[in-house]
Amino acid sequence: MAPPTARERRFAEYLAKLVKDHNLGALAALRRGLGKRPGEAAEAHRYVVPWLAPEARPWQDDAYYLIGALFAWHQGSWPEADGTGKAPTNLGASFARLRGGSDGIEKRFVALLNCHRDDLPNHLRQAVGLLKSKDVPVDWAQLLHDILGWDWESRSVQREWARAFWRDTVAAGAEPALAQ
């Protein structure tokens, strides 16, 4: 799977800079978009519109609004990668940090993997809320990239998340659960 584009990385860096600069007004404006349709919180336009590609489709713009709102709510980000790019930092890897034997986490994660694009904002709001409550980081550029690729026919986003979530199951000495 391709890594995030330069535009996606720059947007995530811009959001992180809002935190670094203590721009609480911008973060509050973006946070007002939580639970609303993308772009419905007019105060967020100022911070999102400059990042939208002129040729983008509305669903692509929606992804930027969603990431802006989610980031403003939970600013925990993965530390800089080790440079190898081998360790996944997608949402599956974030959820793997929560797993700890809880069937509830796995069920929530599977529901997220199965959700339709129209339901993704609600599922992601719940997922990010859970990650926030446990101080688990999110790779915001990767999440933006993944949202933009959610409907790919290959379902490569969902497969990569699943791979990151379950990859250490056998290595940890546990065999994958068999369906009952």
Q: What is the CATH number of the domain that holds 141?
A: 1.10.520.40
Within-domain flag for 171: no
Query: Binning pLDDT at 50, 70 and 90, where does residue 173 land?
Result: low
Which two structure tokens, joined as six digits, stand for 150? 């959610």
Contacts of 151 (CB under 8 A, 6+ apart): 117
Within-domain flag for 133: yes
pLDDT, tens digit, for every residue of 100-156?
756 789 999 999 999 999 999 999 999 999 999 999 999 999 999 999 999 988 899
- Distance (Å, whole) CA 42 – CA 45: 6
Instruction: Report CA-CA distances (Å) from 111 to 5, 79, 150, 175.
Output: 27, 27, 14, 21
CB 138 within 8 A of CB 129: no
pLDDT for res 78: 86
pTM > 0.85: yes or no: yes
pLDDT for res 80: 65
Within-domain flag for 180: no
37 strand-pairing partners: none
Within-domain flag for 28: yes
Q: Would the pLDDT of 83 be above 60?
A: no
pLDDT for res 113: 97
Within-domain flag for 41: yes
pLDDT, tens digit, for every residue of 16-54?
999 999 999 999 999 999 989 887 899 999 999 999 999
Within-domain flag for 161: yes
Q: Would the pLDDT of 180 be above 90?
A: no
pLDDT for res 100: 72
pLDDT for res 163: 95
- Distance (Å, whole) CA 73 – CA 176: 34
138 strand-pairing partners: 77
pLDDT for res 82: 43
pLDDT for res 43: 95
pLDDT for res 39: 77
pLDDT for res 109: 95
Report how many domains make up the chain.
1
Within-domain flag for 176: no
Domain extent for 92 = 6-166
Within-domain flag for 178: no
Q: What is the DSSP string of 137-178?
A: -B-HHHHHHHHHTTT-TT-HHHHHHHHHHHTTTTTTT-PPPP
Contacts of 78 (CB under 8 A, 6+ apart): 89, 94, 137, 138, 139
Of 16-20, 74-78, 148-152, 168-172, the least confident:
168-172
